[in-house]
Amino acid sequence: MSAGDEFDYIILGAGSAGCVLANRLTDKTDLSVLVIEAGPLDRNLLIHIPAGVYRVFKDPAINWNYQTDTEAGCDSRQVELPRGKVLGGSSSINSMVYMRGHPLDYDRWAQQHNLTDWSYGHCLPYFKRCETSDRGADDYRGDAGPLGVSQSQLDNPLFDAMLSAGEQSGQGVSEDLNGFKPEGIARLDSTTRHGRRCSAAVAHLTPALSRPNLHLKVRTLVRRITISNGVATGVEVSRGRRTQTIRARKGVICSCGAIKTPQLLMLSGVGPAAHLKAHNIETVADLKGVGENLQDHLSIITAYRCKEPVTLHWLKNPLRKVQVGTRWMLRRDGVAASNIWEMGGLVSGNAEVPHPNLQYHFAPVYSEYHGRRISLYQGYQLNVDQLRPKSRGTVRLRSANAGDAPRARFNYLSDPYDMRELKEAYVMMKALMHQPAFERFRGARIQPSDDKDIEAYIRATASTDYHPCGTCKMGKDENSVVDEQGRVYGVDNLRVVDASVMPDIVSGNLNAPTQMIAEKIADQLLGNQPLAPEYPSFHFQNNQ
**Local mean pLDDT, 10-residue blocks, the chain (544 residues):** 76 98 97 98 96 92 97 98 97 98 98 97 98 97 98 96 98 97 98 98 98 98 98 97 96 98 98 98 98 98 98 94 95 96 97 96 95 91 98 98 97 98 98 98 96 96 97 97 98 98 98 98 97 95 54
Contact 505, 388 (CB under 8 A): yes
Q: Report how far residue 133's alpha carbon sits from residue 143's, in angstroms, rounded to the nearest whole number.
A: 5
Question: Which residues are CB-neighbours of 28 under 8 A, at least 6 positions away?
Answer: none
Question: What are the phi and psi torsion angles at 181 (to 5°)?
Answer: -120, 90
Of residues 381, 376, 379, the one with CA closest to residue 317: 376
**Helix-, strand-, coil-residue percentages of the chain, each rounded to 5:** 30, 25, 45
pLDDT recorded at residue 25: 98
State the burial class of residue 167 (Cβ atoms within 10 Å of its Cβ: 0-12, 13-18, 19+).
middle
Q: Under the phi-then-psi rule, with left for phi > 0, alpha for psi from -120 to 50, and beta for the rest, what region is 184?
A: left
Of residues 502, 477, 478, 490, the one with CA closest to residue 270: 490
pLDDT recorded at residue 544: 39
- From residue 501, how far is each of 33, 140, 405, 470, 487 by CA, in Å? 22, 24, 21, 5, 10
pLDDT recorded at residue 371: 82
Torsion of Cα atoms, 127 then 132 then 137 then 141, to 10° = -30
DSSP H or E segment with residue 318: helix 318-331
In order of start, what are the domains of the chain with their CATH numbers? 1-37+80-148+190-292+395-407+469-531 (3.50.50.60)
In the sheet with 147-151, reading across from the earlier edge strand, the strands are 97-98, 189-190, 147-151, 131-133
Question: DSSP letter at 127?
Answer: H
Q: Residue count of the chain, please give it.
A: 544
Quick: pLDDT tens for 501-518. Answer: 999 999 999 999 999 999
Of residues 101, 185, 57, the one with CA closest to residue 469: 101
Residues taking part in catalysis:
467
Contact 381, 224 (CB under 8 A): no
